Every structure is written in C-alpha cells, then in structure tokens.
Structure 1
Amino acid sequence: MHLTFRQVNYFVAIAEAGSVSRAATRLNISQSTITESLRALEAETGATLFERSSKGVTLTYRGHQFLEHSRRILATVADAGRILRPGPEAVSGSLKLGVTSLVSGYFLADLLARFRRVFPDILVNVVEEDRDTIEDQLVRGELDVALMLVSNLVNQYDLQFETLARSRNHVWLRGGHPLLAQDHVELAALEKEPLIGLSIDEMPRSVETLWTCRLTKPAFSLITSSVEAVRSLVATGAGVAIMPDMTYRSWSLEADRVEARPIKGIESTIDVGMAWRRDAELSEPTQIFLQLCRESRSDQTLDRR
C-alpha cells in the first residue's frame, strides 16, 4: 500500500469540512483535484471512507478509524519540522495544566502527546477538575493554564482566555428515526422524545439554555457522565440527545448507527479554549504550550454536517 501525505491531508480536510467542495475551497485547490485524490485513496485502501449525499459527505465507520490515524500523521509531520528548529530540546521546567472532563476526552491527548514529543524535558502535571475548581486554582496561581469550556467561563475579570474551537449543538438520533427526514429539527419535536443528557462540564445547563425561547425546561429521562453511554443509548433507540459536535461519531461501540441533525433556529456554540490568570507572569513552558495550542487551533466552527 502506498499512501501519500497529500492524500491524507486532503482526506482530513474533507472530513472536517463535511463536503468535497468546501474542502477544496479551504485548501484553495480545484474540486476535481481533491475528488481524484479521494478516489485514489479509497482504491488504495480498499475502503469506502465516506457516504455521499446531495448534502455532502459523512464518514463511514472505517472512515472514522482512518481519520484518527490521519490526524496523528499530520501532527507528527508538523512536530518533526518543529524538532528541527534550533533549541527546543534545551527548554526545561514544569507546567501545571488544568482540564475539565469533556475537554480532557476530546482535546487533551493529542495536544499533550505533541507537547511531550517536542519538549521532553518539560514536566507536565495535569489536574482534572470541574470548572469552578479550575477557575479558582488559576486565580490562586495553583495552575499555570487550563484547557476548558470557555463559553461558560464565569470569572472573566481575573482570567484571560482564547478560544481554540467552536462546536455547535446537534440532535443525535438513532438510524431510521422519523426526525431524520427533516434537514433541521424543531425543539418542539424533541419535547415528545425521551431526552438523554450528559452531566459533565455543565452540559445539562447548556442544554437547558436552548429551551429558554420556549419558556420551559427539557425533561431528561436519563443523565450520564459518559459520552459513549449517550451514544450507545441513542443508537439503540433509548432516546435522543443534544450534544456538541466535537463529540459526534456516527457509530456506537456496538457499531450501531447514530445520525445528527442541526436544531432549527439555534446557532449557539460550545467553545473550547485555554485560560490563564490575567496578571500572571507566564513561564517559558506556559508560553510554549499556549503557542502550540494556537497552532492547533481550528479556525472553523466544528460541524460534521
């Protein structure tokens, strides 16, 4: 099997854009070029990586698996270039990093692996806590920086933050659900469905905020701290869920199908970012980590559809 870096790069661009044409626009290349690259990649791997429709493309189960490896390939190549720059191996010290649960599961691993690859002499101590505790520890100087949801940051007077990615809320539905016939789902339609909630990172409060326009609150039939439990429950028809798109994958661990639809009239996002004390004198390891995060920033709103 002979895969090229360009094929991998184009594949990731299509997956993140949800459309061949949008990916071509972002990469500033012709649609025919990226289409031919994808066709050659699928022929070389012997796998169908996307399901095509008039609305765009969605990853297949094998496509999701390949995407995880492809992102690691791109990150590793970028890090190889960084390692060749003069002096990074000379940087040493420590970094006290705070992280909240949801961000830990979807952003921390890759960033931490990249940081440790390039700066092996910087000792990173990671603390996972709820938002209130993380904010308090940042203010008191017990943490240097935190990766967390910054869209619900409370202490914006003492803390400075930057957004790394914005993730829209979508409705998760089992394969074959009648609501999949709609391009956008009305909140009113969800009031008749068992609603499954995610308890971590104040997600119930974020979901409740969506209902303010209806002067009511969502009726959760089940709340769990596990994203995979939400995915499996939705996939097997136990209910529907409103989840940030950064957590979406179209297959449960049991290989049951999960579909996602945008919510009509709802454009709010859940924002992931980094936060630190506003008046802090940032150490060199902290500055380096912030810069690495900025280089990994997604300039587009995360949207799988």
Structure 2
Amino acid sequence: MNRHITLKQFRYFLAVAESDSVAAASRMLSIAQSAITKSVLELEDELGVLLFERSPKGMRLTPEGHRFLVKARRVIGAVADATRDVHPGATPLSGALTIGVTSLVAGYYLSEVFARFRRTCPEVDLKVVEDAPPFLEHLLINGELDIAIMVSNALGEPQALVAETLTRSPNRVWMAADHPLASQAEVGLAECVQHDLVVLQADRIELLMRPVWARHQLKPRTVLRTSSLEAVRSLVGVGAGLAVLPDFLYRPWTLDAEHVEVRTLRDAVPTVDVGLVWRRGSQPRAEVLEFIEVARDQSRSRRPLA
C-alpha cells in the first residue's frame, strides 16, 4: 500500500506506547478506541512490522516498536520546533545558560530537551552540570545554576525554589517474568513485603516510599540498596527481589536479556514527578524562558500529565 504516514498516526502511536493500553490512550486523547486501533494497525501495515505485542494485559512494544518510538518522538519534537516562535527578522537568542541535572534524570530526559534547545537556540552557550539533588539545590539558591531538571516533588528546600512538573510517573512493581506475583494484574504492598526488595538509592526516590511503608505499617526486607539502576534491573530480572520504581525508569530487558515484568500497585502510592526547578524570586532571562518552553513542548510530545 502507498499510504502516507501522518502526524496523527505518530501521536496515536506515542499515546499507546506511553500508556501501554489503547483504552488508556483513548482516555488521554479523548478519541474513540476504534480510531486509535485503526490508526496503529494502518501504521504497522505501512511500516511492514509489528510495533506492539497484544495481550489481555495490554500493549507492549516489540523491539521494532522501541526503535520506532525513538524516531516518533524526534518527529513530533521537530514539528513542534518548526512551528514555535516563527518571527521573520527576529534576533536569535545568544548568551549563556547553565542547567543542572541529576544522573538518573539525565539518562531519560536531558538528551531530547538538550538537542531541541540546541536546534532552537544555536547561539546560546549551553552548559550542563550533573550532581546530586542537594548540591543542585545549593547551586540554584546561590544563583550558580539557571535551572535544573530533577525529581521535583522531593525537594529539600521547597520554600526557596519553584518547581514546575513536566511529567508524573506512577510507581509500579518490577519483578522477574517467572515471579510468583507475575500471575496477578495488580499487587498490594502487603504482598510485596513477603518478598525481598531491591531498593534504588538515587534522586530521593526511596524517600518518597518510606512514609508509604510506614503508613501501612510494613517493613520491607531489603536485599540490596544501590545507586545503580542497572544493578536493580539485573537483580530483579534474575528473581533476586522485587523493586517499586517509577515508570519512566522502566525498560523490559536487562543487560543479560532477562525480561522484567511490571504490575500495577493496588495501594495508593505517590507519583515520582520530574520537572523544572529554579530559584524563587529570580527573574529568568530570555534564554531561561526559552528553555522552559522547549521543555514544556518536549513534555507534551512525550506524555500528557495525569
């Protein structure tokens, strides 16, 4: 067939890929499920590959789907760049911009925003500082950073900083494909504590879960605390323990090709929010305001806030 792939197909594909479900994508976009299903099928037909594995548990990206996801995000991002701030004769922004980022967030959010800002503002001297959340907050408050991208709902100095959420990522339970709990669609916290847990010590993610365990009067059995996400993923993949982590960190395969399953938590657990953070009371320069707009556009192209 000689159909042309449309932006609508890209957007519908992204919605399904990010939500793992046609029903969830339908709610997200306020579009009929049948229209989304038809669009995805036509896209697969045009590309000549299966982008999703269908199952009663939802839609899971195939390896080809993962590769196409990267390209689809770039396409939507490029369209947003091309249609923003088109003013004939306008003077390009120049100057300098210093961005702070944590190591964990850098791997999942920085590259696309960085590349888009570079395309939009090639004359701006862009510098990135990577460090732990407490030190980034210190640099922001002292005026040594213009803005940071970090977990924004676990700030140590919230009274001194402004946070704007770009994405809210629900926590789910990670487990090996053959784990006893993998037969369930949902898992409760009380069931989790009956098994060993692998805990990620990075970006204050663990701090968000501590009051949850305490509120439910549960004491997890922790087999390892580590700052390495790959260590968590590998241990979970071989069945050494469960992990409770946000969706933005999830990847279905370990470095050793072990499959990692995820299950929804039955109990209410706070999301992990990633956002922009800057010093309260500061007057952002034009370069900073432009970076904020680019980050907002990138967030909208990835996944709407819940």
TM-score (norm 2): 0.90
Aligned twin of 2:11 = 9
Percentage of identical aligned residues? 43
Identify the range of structure 1 (14-23 vs 65-74) with the bigger mean alpha-carbon deviation: 14-23
Kindly provide the CA deviation profile for residues 75-118 of structure 1, in whole angstroms up to 9, marking residues without a partner as x.
12221223744456611011111111221111111111100011
Contact between 1:161 and 1:274, CA under 8 Å: does it hold in 2?
Answer: yes
Q: 2:98 aligns with which of 96, 99, 109?
A: 96
Residues 189-268 of structure 1 aligned to structure 2 (within 5 Å): 189-268=191-270
TM-score (norm 1): 0.90
Aligned twin of 2:126 = 124
Taking the aligned partners of 2:219 and 2:32, their CA distance within structure 1 comes to: 47
C-alpha distance 177-96 of structure 1, shift in aligned 2 (>3 A) = same
AA aligned opposite 1:42 = E
Aligned twin of 2:161 = 159
Taking the aligned partners of 1:34 and 1:263, their CA distance within structure 2 comes to: 27
Contact between 2:175 and 2:182, CA under 8 Å: does it hold in 1?
Answer: yes
Q: 2:58 aligns with which of 56, 59, 79?
A: 56
The alpha carbon displacement at 1:23 in A equals 2.3
Aligned twin of 2:177 = 175
Q: 2:34 aligns with which of 22, 32, 35?
A: 32
DSSP 3-state at the match of 2:191: helix
Kindly provide the CA deviation profile for residues 245-296 of structure 1, in whole angstroms up to 9, marking residues without a partner as x.
1111222233322111122212311111111111112111011111222223
Contact between 1:89 and 1:119, CA under 8 Å: does it hold in 2?
Answer: no
The alpha carbon displacement at 1:223 in A equals 2.4
Taking the aligned partners of 1:154 and 1:81, their CA distance within structure 2 comes to: 37
Q: 2:304 aligns with which of 288, 299, 304?
A: 299
Residues 105-144 of structure 1 aligned to structure 2 (within 5 Å): 105-144=107-146
Identify the range of structure 1 (244-253 vs 113-122) with the bigger mean alpha-carbon deviation: 244-253
Taking the aligned partners of 1:88 and 1:58, their CA distance within structure 2 comes to: 45
CA-based RMSD of the aligned residues comes to 2.1
Contact between 1:88 and 1:118, CA under 8 Å: does it hold in 2?
Answer: no
Taking the aligned partners of 1:22 and 1:185, their CA distance within structure 2 comes to: 19
Taking the aligned partners of 1:106 and 1:224, their CA distance within structure 2 comes to: 19
The alpha carbon displacement at 1:216 in A equals 4.5
Contact between 2:53 and 2:62, CA under 8 Å: does it hold in 1?
Answer: yes
Contact between 2:28 and 2:304, CA under 8 Å: does it hold in 1?
Answer: no
Q: 1:19 aligns with which of 14, 21, 28?
A: 21
DSSP 3-state at the match of 1:22: helix
The alpha carbon displacement at 1:182 in A equals 1.9
Aligned twin of 2:82 = 80
Taking the aligned partners of 1:48 and 1:137, their CA distance within structure 2 comes to: 47
Contact between 2:153 and 2:272, CA under 8 Å: does it hold in 1?
Answer: yes
Runs of 5+ in structure 1 lacking a partner?
Answer: none
Taking the aligned partners of 2:66 and 2:211, their CA distance within structure 1 comes to: 31
DSSP 3-state at the match of 1:160: strand
DSSP 3-state at the match of 1:164: strand
The alpha carbon displacement at 1:215 in A equals 3.0
AA aligned opposite 2:241 = G
